[in-house]
Amino acid sequence: MSPRRTRSSETSDPGRRMLVGGSVPALVAAAALALVGAVISGAPAALGALAGGVLAAAFFGGGLLALDHILRAWAPGLALPSALIVYFCQLLLMVAAGLAVAALPGLDRTYVGLGVLVATLAWMGGQLRSFVTARVLVSDAPLPKAAR
């Protein structure tokens, strides 16, 4: 059986693949919620859902880009502490930005929160799928002679 052929973009940059894999479902889910909100509650609900979805996608995308930069530029061995610090900063900034956006006039606060929630869940699902299906070289150490 021959190995599965992959596109060159599929293996070239796993960070980019996870960014696209998370952002596309998040923005599509936010747009779907905005459509539902527009039908049910009008324009403020649609704008609130879009604002919440874009806010969540921007924060998760920014965190992924920051972590990717940290791991490439400095020390790949610090992956877990770096990820925890980036995630903690994301949570603090997300709460502050969410409160600021929810206070804007013309936006339905309920749909801002729903937009953040729906986009977050879609982002996590899309990013997880991208990570699981990515072909990432974990180690290139040679095998012992007994295993060959």
Question: Using one digit for the tens of pLDDT, what is the confidence trace for 2-11?
Answer: 445 545 444 4
Is residue 140 situated within a structural domain? no
Is residue 143 situated within a structural domain? no
Is residue 38 situated within a structural domain? yes
Number of separate domains in the chain: 1
**Looking at per-residue confidence, does 58 or 137 come out higher?**
58
pTM of the model: 0.77
Is residue 148 situated within a structural domain? no
Is residue 52 situated within a structural domain? yes
What mean pLDDT do residues 26-40 have? 96
Is residue 141 situated within a structural domain? no
Cα distance between residue 12 and residue 135, in whole Å? 9
Q: Which domain holds residue 90?
A: 13-130
